[in-house]
Amino acid sequence: MGLTRRDFLTLGIGAAAAVPLTPIPWKLLDDTAKWSQNWSWIPRPPRGERSVRYGTCTLCPAGCGIQARCVGKNLIGIAPVAAHPVSHGALCPYAFGAHQLPYHPARITQPLRHGNPASLDTVVAEIAARAKAGAFAILDERPGRAVSAAYQRLAAAHGGLYLVADHTETTTLQHFADGSGRNLADLGLALENVRTLVSFGAPVLESWATPGRVFALWKSGQLEIVQVEAELSKSAALASQWLPARAGSETYLASLLAGAIGIAEAAERTGVRSDKLAGAMRFIHDRGPWLAVSGGGFPLAVEQSIAGLNAGSGAIVARAASSAAGARLARVPDASAGARLSTVPDASVDARLSHVPDASVDVLFIDHGLLGGSVSFDSLRSKVRRGGIVVSLSPYRAGVAALANFVIPTPAFAESLDEAPTPWDAVSPSYALAPALLDPPAGATTALDFINRVTGGDLPPEAAIRAKVGSLFAARRGEVFTFADRATRPVTEFKSAPDLFKAFSTGACWIDRDAKTVAVNYRPVSAGPEARVVAPTRGTAISPPLFTKLDQESRIGRA
């Protein structure tokens, strides 16, 4: 008798009856739940040894000290460095999202030629030929570094121009520089010596000057803010007095402060109530020394009247020549064989982009810095001759780089040795290094290395930086604050320049608090070219990816 269907059925039922007595159903249920924990698209944080490394944020000119929390070779978070002589333990939102910048979607790791990927060698050959045949210029969006001095040196040696753009934040200081025949880089704001800061539209309690310095003075009540602005900006909201002058009427407030007009006239012209104006004037004058700064963007005459408010107040100072020595790059040996020693020009000697005649440049190199920079493409384009090219050196295809003829990928945040020279507002010269905390991708090349390659320059970034550190060591001025132990030592305690370089590379900041300063007198320059190419100091082409929290997922907006 063979096996019938009923037999198979009985067999099957027997098996089915046994199933719940085996692990099969229970284990499968359990395991499918656990399987869902290990799907490939579930994000996995990195694993590895945890450590803390110190460095400097170079996303903006302030140069704040940072601690980077690391897991293995990855950066997983940024924190401030307390008691830092420049940043005073402060950091801005950019720093906290900076460790994600190397992975920004706009990142490029291959050169782009007219928007298409190209090999580095092709691009080098083409640009080198053009630079040799015509006039080249280097626009440095982060002046004051040793690398900046290297640009100046190579521009001088190879018939090129070294340029910097005007920025909104330094408008008032630039007027002082122009009016006193000094360099912008030698001037500073003596914020510690004033009691009130009268801001004409400058975002003084947002991202401005060295934020840590401003906040430290403001939160203690030592420095009060009077904000002149048509809009209730964040700074206006936080200021002790907000003077909501109608847009275009700021000049009358300047005149009122100068004593040229009375309260009644000022009230009528600006739309601010008389009692408010009177209160503000009393507030400013009663408190003691005050400083007026402009946020930029006003007509020349208005800027001059704002700058003029500081004439003779001693609030704007210049570092005396002797103390500027530490900021100058030392004599650097020529790399070419049998060469003499040559002196590197003072990094503070700038040529302003605004003063360059239109259509005079064949190849414009732009060192955009770490956030893709901010000068507008139109203003740059006018300086370039027809048929000339714009070469953007940036980690990202964004901003000007998205429109440039060539884009050369440079290292992103914390991927290469960088510098934090004296911030524009500082009175004491300072210098810090930002060591590389990450390895740059294979295609990235530093801006200076690339420009050297296409123009025949011979001073690589590290050599320039070491020379700068050497000059700091040789000048024997100032002290060094090391981040790991928060100790301060005089420079003279370091045994050698390489010793000092090593300290910088593991997180340190040099500052010369004893640098002598002199008050600067202001004389308005009656017929100077208006700065037509003005970039917001903290304008950027890209933002840290987490900025969606500010821009999109809440209504707080940017600082």
Partner 1 sequence: MPGKTHKYGMVIDVDRCTGCGACMIACAAENNVAPAPPRATERTGITPMRVERVSNRAALADRQERFLPVLCMQCGHETPCVSVCPQQAVEVDRESGIVFQMPQRCLGCRYCMTACPYHARYFNWWDPSWPAGMENTLNPGVAPRMRGVVEKCNFCHARLQSAHDKAAAAGKTEIDSADYVPACVEACPTGAITFGDLADASSEVAREARDPRSFRLLPKLGTEPKVYYRSDLAWVRELAEHGGASPDSEPSERRL
Partner 2 sequence: MMKHRVALLFSLGFACMLAAGWVGFPRTLYSSARQPVDFNHRIHKDKASQKCEDCHSITSEGVFTGTPALANCAACHAEPMGTSANEKVLVAAWVKPGREIPWRSYARQPMNVHFSHAVHVNLGKLSCDRCHGARGDSTTVALYREDRISGYSRHAVSMTMTDCEDCHRQRGVEAGCLGCHK
Interacting residue ranges for partner 2, rule: CB under 8 A: 7, 10-19, 21-24, 27-28, 30-32, 34-35, 37-38, 44-45, 50
CB of 55 to partner 2, least distance (A): 20
Residue with smaller CB distance to partner 2, 27 or 282: 27
CB of 224 to partner 1, least distance (A): 13
Q: Which residue has the tokens 């656990």?
A: 34
Q: Are 316 and 310 a contacting pair, CB within 8 Å?
A: yes
Instruction: Give the three-state DSSP class for 464.
Output: helix
- Residue 146: name its binding partner from partner 2, partner 1, none (Cβ under 5 to 8 Å by kind): none
- Residue 32: name its binding partner from partner 1, partner 2, none (Cβ under 5 to 8 Å by kind): partner 2
CA distance 272 to 488: 49
Instruction: Give the three-state DSSP class for 318.
Output: strand
CB of 36 to partner 1, least distance (A): 9
CB atoms within 10 A of CB 154: 21
Residue with smaller CB distance to partner 2, 27 or 549: 27
Residues near partner 1, by CB under 8 A? 41-47, 71, 74-80, 89-93, 95-97, 99-100, 102-105, 205-207, 211-212, 215, 218-219, 230-234, 237-238, 244, 246-247, 271-273, 276, 544-550, 552-559
Helix or strand (DSSP H, E) at 292:
strand 290-294
CA distance 316 to 300: 19
Q: Which of 518, 533, 427 is nearest to 182 (CA)?
A: 518
- Residue 338: name its binding partner from partner 1, partner 2, none (Cβ under 5 to 8 Å by kind): none
With b for 16 or more beta-carbon neighbours within 10 A and e for fewer, the 82-110 pattern comes to eebbbbbebbbbbbbbbbebbebeebbeb
- Residue 21: name its binding partner from partner 1, partner 2, none (Cβ under 5 to 8 Å by kind): partner 2
**Strand partners of residue 138:** 162, 365
Q: Which residue has the tokens 């330094």?
A: 170
- Residue 117: name its binding partner from partner 1, partner 2, none (Cβ under 5 to 8 Å by kind): none
**Strand partners of residue 294:** 200
CB of 509 to partner 1, least distance (A): 17
Residue with smaller CB distance to partner 1, 47 or 495: 47
Residue 243, φ and ψ in degrees, nearest 5: -105, 100
**Strand partners of residue 487:** 482
CB of 215 to partner 1, least distance (A): 5
Residue with smaller CB distance to partner 1, 298 or 450: 298
Q: Are 443 and 415 a contacting pair, CB within 8 Å?
A: no
- Residue 162: name its binding partner from partner 1, partner 2, none (Cβ under 5 to 8 Å by kind): none
CB of 30 to partner 1, least distance (A): 15
Instruction: Give the three-state DSSP class for 324.
Output: helix
CB of 415 to partner 2, least distance (A): 24
- Residue 18: name its binding partner from partner 1, partner 2, none (Cβ under 5 to 8 Å by kind): partner 2
